[in-house]
Amino acid sequence: MPRQIDKAYSHSEVESPWYARWSEAGHFSPLRPNGHPFSMVIPPPNVTGSLHMGHALNNTLQDILCRYKRMDGYNVLWIPGTDHAGIATQNVVERQLAERGMTRIQMGREKFVEHVWAWRAEAGNTILNQLKALGVSCDWTRERFTMDERLSVAVREAFVRLWEDGLLYRAERLVNWCPRCGTALADIEVVHEESDGHLWYIRYPLLDEPSEGLVVATTRPETMLGDTAVAVHPEDERYQRFIGRKVCLPIVERPIPVIADPFVDQQFGTGSLKITPGHDFNDFEIGEKHGLKVIGIFDDEARINPSAFREEKTGPQSWLSRYALKDRFEARRLVLEELEEKGLLVKREPYRHAVGRCYRCSTVIEPYSTPQWFVKIKPLAEPAIQAVKEGRIRIIPDAWANSYFAWMENIKDWCISRQIWWGHQIPAWYCKICEASNITNQRDRTTTAGFRITPEAKPIVQIRPPSVCAKCGGGEFLQDPDVLDTWFSSALWPFSTLGWPERTEDLKTFYPTSVLVTGFDILFFWVARMIMMGLKLMGDIPFRDVCIHALVRDQEGQKMSKSKGNVIDPLVMMSRYGTDAFRFTLASMTSIGRDVKLAEERIAGYQNFVNKLWNATRFLLMNVRIPLQEPLESPLKTEELNLADRWILSRLAFTTDQARKAIDSYKFNEFAHYLYQFTWHEFCDWYIEMSKLSLNGTLRTDNPVKTQRVLFTVLKQVLLLLHPLMPFVTEEIWRTITSEGQNGFSATSERESSIMLQPYPKVDEKWIQPEAEEKVGFLTEVIRAIRNLRTEMNCPPSRKIEVVLFAPENDIAFLKSQEPYLRALARLASVKYISQGERPKKAATAVVGTTEIYLPLTEMPNLREEGMRLIKEVDKVEIELARSQKKLSNQDFLTKAKEEVVEKERKKAEQLEDKIQTLNRSLKKIQDLQVEAGP
């Protein structure tokens, strides 16, 4: 008995059970120890995260690759996991504490970290569960977290090795400081944003001649409290007489020198520049050159730090009490107010400039001098550049390679220490006795550690805490309070997740990983650093291919953001349209290197495709009416196939070939497109329609069982081809059509019965038949032309009519042999063939190649309409012919173009001429008839 399935596909019923079944059956773990390894690591989402479109796209693409490779016989490993995301997570948890009126400072470090762990245990893996809904086939038995004990060992190991190789150092430097997060940031963690500000002009009077002075221009007047010089260009004629003299810094009344430095742009502002080495990167450099003092005027929260001014001559000045502990923006207001009072504020101009902000909280970054840990990056960058230059790592699309080189070549030392609590604490200890003088109490500041370790202190860097000081024999140590940049641990991800530093089997088998699929937004943050660390610590690249995909935007091309309210929630899309439709949409819109503009209608459109596939299946199941003599699996023999069979199998082979090529080169959109095109328009629109003639006996000579076998063969291959894109519906259908007792197929185990582990289709050469494709191409064109004529002549589909075909003998012979298709698909009562002599008088005309199609107008004498139509058609063809003839009359074209191109053009012109002739002949007849009929 034929099996029945529902008329409409219901994703909610079909999708849900499969994931658990796959997972329980162990299909996601490496299953083919002898297969060629294919491995990927997931770009670990932040534990704080929840699934957004970016994740959905990223993981869909990865899953497509994994499922494809797994089916294709590879030993596939895809490692999932999450990132502890130091600052981001700490911020989230702190915000939650704040809602309960608590701060982490009140809690203390140990309790706070415990609290974050507890929070993570409770809520941290939401995103992984959301990923499962997407159908991702990660190996969950190998799930990792960047703060797992084993990964923490890897982090310490990496740190120690870099230290021992002289690639780490600790130094007091101006760094990007986020006063809100209370930590240093790396350069790339600062987002530069244009914003409207002001340029303030301030007079600095000469110390010995107060009536004279220099006017400086600044966007940050409050930093003047830390000025230690004023600089002018050495060749600036206006200021020659000031160079070497001293000005009196207003408010503080600090005497500071006027120095000459070519860095100063004479054109900008007044041409004299205030120098604040403590709070400006340029000024810091100039200060170093000129031996200027660095005065840090702020504390960790960017408030005026009174102790910074202890050394000022005027002692605990009266002005200081106004400024002490004032926030930098409040301080700015006060400074401006005071300068105004003193008549030293010359003018104010509106000014647009870039302001650096924290990438985690958007607070304006303060350049701030603090002791930090740095990675000496050049020695790491060099080999990383080479690896890409030499093609050992391919960046796809290669346009991104340029960005990669540009960044790597200008890279600066990487600040890896963070003054937060959530993360890997730096494995460096200080002997409390030896370093007593270098450990300073910082109670007058708000530093969260409560102390600071000067850059002179000698750290003991090792994996475990030391027990005895080698120098003094002391046993008490202070661990460096800083934690590592989150990206330090993610840089190790491709090997730390495989068990490094232990030499595990996984590492041996799966490193380097095959491909990394990621967004361009973390190319520098993550990809570049993985390459550097992989090369350094593993001595090998971390992955061969880097497949960079774009951002998901809304349909207007805007970034999706909560504040804009244009966020499309993947979970909502999945439940509304089905995961398969959603995944298919993402893939079909992913043209590498281009942003994905997502509109909900598209997803709805592909839901129809899923339904189409479902109904094709339904058709097949309904038409297996007779008991099968032989199992459907038996190979198809070329000699028993008819033209349509050979055609669809040839198209299937073509599609298989194209699909493989597309996916092999990460062209996900093409992959989806070829399969969509074939499934809907070739298989469903044409072949299934044609097969009905065999199945219902119209084609008496054809064997319906053979046709059923072709149908099932094609459907099964389509399912296999589509599975990476649409895992759920393909599995459901697969099991339905291959289930026990059905069609002679019997699976002996869960593993055998899942579509996930079937071999991915390969091109079967014997199915490629250009001759069948050409013939069916001709046949369908004729059918289309007839349908077109019918529509144009308002001939309803229900009315069966006769057409006359005028063609050369061989075409007629062919068309006669295919007449059942003509009649059924063009809805004809009969076909008349003429190879010479008179064409019908009263008929609508169309031309396909050398075949003329006449649709008699006896019953629908709409001569005027047909006349107009023909005129239009002739016009069109004549334009084309003219273009072709122009080419052919060009001597240069005839001599210089390739022979086959010229030959093609000749044939084309010939055909067009014939066509015009035919059309004109018909037109003449129509016009004659119109005259006969009278006005």
Instruction: Kindly identify the residues of this chain, within the stretch 168-207, that bind RNA according to CB under 7 A.
Output: 187-188, 192, 194
CB of 191 to RNA, least distance (A): 7
- Quick note: the x/- pattern for RNA over 775-804, rule CB under 7 A, is ---------x--xx--xx---xxx------
Joined together, the tokens standing for residue 182 give 């209370």
372: which strand partners?
Answer: 171
Cα 570 from chain centroid (whole Å):
15
| Residue nearer to RNA on the CB measure, 320 or 384 | 384
Bond before 210 cis per omega within 30 degrees: no
Single-letter code of the amino acid located at 331: A
- Residue 158's closest CA among 528, 498, 532, 533? 533
CB atoms within 10 A of CB 816: 12
Out of 265, 349, 456, 771, the residue judged to bind RNA by CB under 7 A? 265
| Residue nearer to RNA on the CB measure, 445 or 790 | 790
> What is the CA angle 491-92-375, rounded to 5?
25
Helices (H) and strands (E) in the chain, counts: 31, 31
Q: Which stretch binds RNA (CB under 7 A): 147-155, 397-405, 422-430, 806-814?
A: 397-405
Out of 887, 916, 922, 923, the residue judged to bind RNA by CB under 7 A? 887
Joined together, the tokens standing for residue 639 give 């000699």
- Quick note: the x/- pattern for RNA over 318-337, rule CB under 7 A, is --------------------
| Residue nearer to RNA on the CB measure, 384 or 453 | 384
Q: Which stretch binds RNA (CB under 7 A): 42-50, 217-225, 381-389, 415-423?
A: 217-225
| Residue nearer to RNA on the CB measure, 187 or 802 | 187
854: which strand partners?
Answer: 804, 845
Out of 23, 29, 615, 862, the residue judged to bind RNA by CB under 7 A? 615
Rounded alpha-carbon distances, angstroms, from residue 28 to 55, 493, 525, 732, 756: 19, 20, 29, 18, 9
CB of 139 to RNA, least distance (A): 33
According to CB under 7 A, which residues from 102 to 141 bind RNA? none
Element (H, E) at 357: strand 345-358
End-to-end CA distance of the chain: 65
Out of 180, 841, 883, 906, the residue judged to bind RNA by CB under 7 A? 883
The answer to whether residues 15 and 578 touch, using CB atoms and an 8 Å cutoff, is yes
The answer to whether residues 825 and 783 touch, using CB atoms and an 8 Å cutoff, is yes
Single-letter code of the amino acid located at 123: A
Query: Does residue 730 touch RNA according to CB under 7 A?
Result: no
| Residue nearer to RNA on the CB measure, 561 or 746 | 561
Dist CA 274 CA 428 (whole Å): 39
CB of 544 to RNA, least distance (A): 22
CB of 520 to RNA, least distance (A): 7
Out of 17, 450, 475, 557, the residue judged to bind RNA by CB under 7 A? 557
Q: Which stretch binds RNA (CB under 7 A): 122-130, 435-443, 553-561, 834-842?
A: 553-561
| Residue nearer to RNA on the CB measure, 112 or 687 | 687
Element (H, E) at 451: strand 451-453
Dist CA 128 CA 55 (whole Å): 11
CB of 243 to RNA, least distance (A): 15
Radius of gyration for the alpha carbons in the chain, expressed in angstroms and rounded: 38
CB of 336 to RNA, least distance (A): 15
According to CB under 7 A, which residues from 668 to 707 bind RNA? 669-670, 673, 676-677, 680-681, 684-685, 688-689, 692, 696
The answer to whether residues 469 and 461 touch, using CB atoms and an 8 Å cutoff, is no
| Residue nearer to RNA on the CB measure, 33 or 350 | 350
Out of 67, 144, 274, 332, the residue judged to bind RNA by CB under 7 A? 274
CB of 592 to RNA, least distance (A): 8
Residues with Cβ within 8 Å of 318's Cβ and at least 6 positions away in sequence, in order, are none
CB of 708 to RNA, least distance (A): 13
What is the 3-state composition of the chain as percent helix, strand, coil, each rounded to the nearest 5? 50, 20, 35
507: which strand partners?
Answer: none
CB of 461 to RNA, least distance (A): 28
Q: What is the DSSP code (8-state) at residue 537?
A: I
How many chain residues are in contact with RNA, going by CB under 7 A? 96
| Residue nearer to RNA on the CB measure, 131 or 174 | 174
Q: Which stretch binds RNA (CB under 7 A): 18-26, 241-249, 767-775, 881-889?
A: 881-889
Q: Which stretch binds RNA (CB under 7 A): 267-275, 495-503, 726-734, 770-778?
A: 267-275
HSE of 46, CA atoms in CB hemisphere, 13 A: 17
Out of 327, 569, 880, 914, the residue judged to bind RNA by CB under 7 A? 880
The answer to whether residues 687 and 695 touch, using CB atoms and an 8 Å cutoff, is no
- Going through 482-574 in order, the beta strands assigned E by DSSP cover 483-484, 513-519, 543-549, 552-554
| Residue nearer to RNA on the CB measure, 429 or 668 | 668
| Residue nearer to RNA on the CB measure, 254 or 424 | 254
Place of tokens 């981001």: 88
Bond before 501 cis per omega within 30 degrees: yes
CB of 771 to RNA, least distance (A): 15
| Residue nearer to RNA on the CB measure, 337 or 910 | 910
Rounded alpha-carbon distances, angstroms, from residue 875 to 111, 384, 556, 869, 927: 85, 62, 40, 10, 17
| Residue nearer to RNA on the CB measure, 521 or 875 | 521
Task: Annotate 433-467 with three-state secondary structure.
Answer: CCCHHHEEECCCCCCCCCEEECCCCCCEECCCCCC
The answer to whether residues 555 and 597 touch, using CB atoms and an 8 Å cutoff, is yes
CB of 74 to RNA, least distance (A): 26
- Quick note: the x/- pattern for RNA over 13-52, rule CB under 7 A, is ----------------------------------------
| Residue nearer to RNA on the CB measure, 392 or 784 | 784
Out of 567, 871, 897, 929, the residue judged to bind RNA by CB under 7 A? 897
- Total count of residues recorded for the chain: 935
According to CB under 7 A, which residues from 438 to 497 bind RNA? none
Dist CA 825 CA 843 (whole Å): 20
According to CB under 7 A, which residues from 646 to 675 bind RNA? 669-670, 673
- Quick note: the x/- pattern for RNA over 559-598, rule CB under 7 A, is ------------------------------x-x-xxx-x-
Out of 60, 486, 611, 708, the residue judged to bind RNA by CB under 7 A? 611
Dist CA 570 CA 249 (whole Å): 58
| Residue nearer to RNA on the CB measure, 188 or 252 | 188
The answer to whether residues 45 and 519 touch, using CB atoms and an 8 Å cutoff, is no
According to CB under 7 A, which residues from 398 to 437 bind RNA? 399, 402-403, 406-407, 410
The answer to whether residues 779 and 821 touch, using CB atoms and an 8 Å cutoff, is yes
Out of 282, 425, 462, 566, the residue judged to bind RNA by CB under 7 A? 282
Dist CA 443 CA 445 (whole Å): 5
- Quick note: the x/- pattern for RNA over 225-264, rule CB under 7 A, is --------------------------------------xx
Out of 892, 932, 934, 935, the residue judged to bind RNA by CB under 7 A? 892
Q: Which stretch binds RNA (CB under 7 A): 300-308, 443-451, 551-559, 736-744?
A: 551-559
> What is the CA angle 474-478-479, rounded to 5?
130
| Residue nearer to RNA on the CB measure, 556 or 859 | 556
452: which strand partners?
Answer: 440
